[in-house]
Amino acid sequence: IQELLRVMRTIDDRIVHELNTTIPTASFVGKVDPAQTCKELYESLMDAHTNRERIIKNCISQTSAVVKTLKEEREKAHEDAALLKQLRKEQTKLKLMQSELNVEEVVNDRSWKVLS
């Protein structure tokens, strides 16, 4: 998922470049509608943010369900080392997803500051 998020954050990473190529120079003012291109950039940024947040929250939800199930199984089988190892792995994955949600907030804030 981290690789997918990295690819999906390309628009945020390149926001300054996108703005520079969106806003026409004096020689291209008549050929490009800056209001329309800015609107399109804004909409694509909104879509990217919404999609990434939805994906991260979906992963958090799924991983939380797995952790809950593993905890319930562990209560029944206290001595199962493999189960404990799987539980720890899923808990680490859950923490990673939760931290990605925080990263997403920072990335989004940075992009909106550049855009405003």
By 3-state DSSP, what share of the chain in percent is helix, strand and coil, each rounded to 5?
Answer: 85, 0, 15
Going from the C-alpha of 66 to that of each of 61, 84, 92, the distances in angstroms are: 9, 13, 12
For 4-51, how does the pLDDT look when each residue is reduced to its tens digit (9 = 90+)?
888 888 888 777 777 777 666 666 556 667 778 778 888 988 999 999
Residue 105 domain boundaries: 1-115
| Distance of alpha carbon 71 from alpha carbon 83, whole angstroms | 9
pLDDT by residue (tens digit) across 81-110? 999 999 999 999 999 999 999 999 998 998
- The pLDDT confidence band at residue 65, using thresholds 50, 70 and 90, is very high
pLDDT at 32: 66
Q: What total number of domains does the chain contain?
A: 1
In 10 A of CB 23, how many CB atoms? 14
Residue predicted with more confidence, 1 or 73:
73
Q: Using a CB cutoff of 8 Å and minimum separation of 24, what contacts does 46-53 make? A: 48/8, 48/9, 48/11, 48/12, 49/104, 49/108, 49/111, 51/8, 52/5, 52/8, 52/9, 52/104, 53/101, 53/104
What pLDDT is attached to residue 59?
94
